[in-house]
Structure 1
Amino acid sequence: MIDGAAAIYRSTVTHRRFVPVGHELRYRATYMYLDIDRLDEAARELAFFGRRRGLFVLRDRDHGPAGEGSLAARVWRLVEGVRVEAPVRRLMMLSMPRTFGYVFNPLTTYYGYGDDGVLRLMIYEVSNTFGERRHYVLPVGQGAGFRREQACGKSLYVSPFNDAEGRYDFTLMPPGDKLRLTVSLSKGGSRVLSAYLAGDRRPLNDREIVRAFAGDPLATYRATAAIHWEALKLWRKGLRLTPRPRAGEPPEATAAIGEPQA
């Protein structure tokens, strides 16, 4: 039986740059929200989702830190030693699936819940087009209200128009009927850009997978193409390219940094 918490989110991603020039990019995306320990179970229950083949595919190698073991084992190791108010018992993964043999996820998120169902920890997996990843593991504060805010230092070269320095600010709500997540990059006290993810929940079943696929079969390809096309527009607007730093660390180094905020 399919996990009741699992879902599909039909979403819109918006990028807004504020300095040194204004610019906006928007594209549609489909995200899957799955229990990281029940991926194989979901693949057995669903005809059109698989771990190796299907309309939607999620492969272990596409995500997580480097190391031995399954995707679940590697991601759970990130949680070890992180101070949280209550133990994390469940990790839900939010990611675009692989379609037609291709996927690129600029951001994959893992929501860590306690036995009480309260969100206790977030893992932000940031990837660039060079195959590098960084994992920002952040406890979640338990302030008033449903919205949560977190922050940490940036440590990965992602865009040719930004270096590897700066500060990330995350604003989120635990996924429910709606999906909401904002990531902002600041440098020198000024906000450089923000990315907004907004989605509507759909049940995870074969019918919804087929509907999502039929409605946008080339979503992952188009998202990558849009990113590169918009980069060309920014270059034509006069933005200077920032050289990629020489590789001095393993390409999937993990950062466990940040403090909870209410």
Structure 2
Amino acid sequence: MTSSSIYNCTVVHKRFIPKEHHFKYDVFALFLDLSELSNIEKNIHLFSYNKFNLISFHDSDHGPRDGSSVIDWVKKNLIENKIDTENIKIKLLCYPRIFGYVFNPLSVFYIYNADEKLISILYEVKNTFGEQHTYVFKIEGDENLLQHNCEKKFHVSPFIEMECKYFFRVLKPSEKISIIIDQYKKNEKLLYASQVGKKTELNNKELFKSYIKNPMMTFKIIIAIHFEAFKLWMKGIKFIKKKLKIKNNLTFEN
């Protein structure tokens, strides 16, 4: 038994201005205790760590994205934000590679202390230009529903301007997982995005079942992103040119 698991989820996006647009699709995400990756590889034949398999996880897909330790990267950034890293547990909600390919629009790191209390969340956001920005939040209190907000600092969609704010509503992972992001331009709601799912055990049987339901999931995600962008363009929504070129930024939020 491990503390890692699978979440079978539905992703929903709804755009409200200047024109309405929405889509939804089913996915499965892995909720990985990063200290268990080698053990998971030994016990789940379909899964490999830093090697090719039907389903795999690679350090180079997250954090510094240079193949070095994601755990060390998380600890370094927590220390810089004055968050205690002694005996912490780092869990990551992400899409795995399928047949060696993955694109994660959003990956979420959940950081727990030795008492299993959630003390920090890192939202790792990627765009299709090969860039990444991570928003780091410190968690205080013990509420089940976490709410926080920040200014948008990273160009994601070429159809949404930079002058926006994010409002996050996140349930602590349990039998259900829920991540909701509302994006506002000035005081007007522009976008609603959510990923909601149910937990199942991470083992050979359940991983294969999740794969069979979404056999080409990671390819579907990147195709869907471009297809939905084409539909936005067809609706006449303004194309926003990306002004900044970054590779891997990180900000500490209040």
Partner of 1:206: 204
State the AA in 2 paired with 1:207: K
Of 127-136 and 54-63, deviating more is: 54-63
1:254 aligns with 2:250: yes
Instruction: Judging by fraction of residues, say which structure has more strand.
Output: 2
Partner of 1:11: 9
Partner of 1:21: 19
Q: Give the alignment partner of residue 161 of structure 1, picking from 159, 162, 170.
A: 159
Root-mean-square deviation (CA), in Å? 1.8
Partner of 2:122: 123
Q: How does 1:79-228 map to 2 (within 5 A)?
A: 79-84=78-83, 89-142=88-141, 145-228=143-226
Deviation at 1:34, TM superposition (A): 0.8
Q: 2:58·2:67 contact (CA, 8 Å) conserved in 1?
A: no
Relative to structure 1, is the Cα distance of residues 224 and 148 closer, same or farther in structure 2, using a 3 angstrom cutoff? same
Q: Distance in 2 between matches of 1:95 and 1:176?
A: 16
Relative to structure 1, is the Cα distance of residues 222 and 66 closer, same or farther in structure 2, using a 3 angstrom cutoff? closer
In the alignment of these two chains, the number of paired residues is 253
Q: Give the alignment partner of residue 46 of structure 2, picking from 33, 45, 48.
A: 48
Deviation at 1:164, TM superposition (A): 3.0
Q: Distance in 1 between matches of 2:244 and 2:53?
A: 37
State the AA in 1 paired with 2:63: G
Relative to structure 1, is the Cα distance of residues 243 and 224 closer, same or farther in structure 2, using a 3 angstrom cutoff? same
Relative to structure 1, is the Cα distance of residues 19 and 88 closer, same or farther in structure 2, using a 3 angstrom cutoff? farther
TM-score, with length taken from structure 2: 0.93
SS of 1:233 mapped into structure 2: helix
Residue-by-residue CA offset, 1:132-176 (whole Å, 9 max, x unaligned): 000111012316x42110111211110010133321111111111
TM-score, with length taken from structure 1: 0.91
SS of 2:223 mapped into structure 1: helix
Deviation at 1:178, TM superposition (A): 0.6
Percent of paired sites with the same residue:
30
SS of 1:69 mapped into structure 2: coil
Relative to structure 1, is the Cα distance of residues 246 and 85 closer, same or farther in structure 2, using a 3 angstrom cutoff? closer
Residue-by-residue CA offset, 1:208-249 (whole Å, 9 max, x unaligned): 1111111211011112211211111111111010011142x4
Residue-by-residue CA offset, 1:166-212 (whole Å, 9 max, x unaligned): 21111111111111110122121222101111101110001111111
SS of 1:201 mapped into structure 2: strand
Q: Distance in 1 between matches of 2:73 and 2:174?
A: 26
Q: Distance in 1 between matches of 2:189 and 2:231?
A: 20
Q: Distance in 2 between matches of 1:69 and 1:55?
A: 22
Q: Distance in 2 between matches of 1:164 and 1:14?
A: 21
Relative to structure 1, is the Cα distance of residues 175 and 162 closer, same or farther in structure 2, using a 3 angstrom cutoff? same
Runs of 5+ in structure 2 lacking a partner?
A: none
Of 229-238 and 126-135, deviating more is: 229-238
SS of 1:217 mapped into structure 2: coil
Runs of 5+ in structure 1 lacking a partner?
A: none
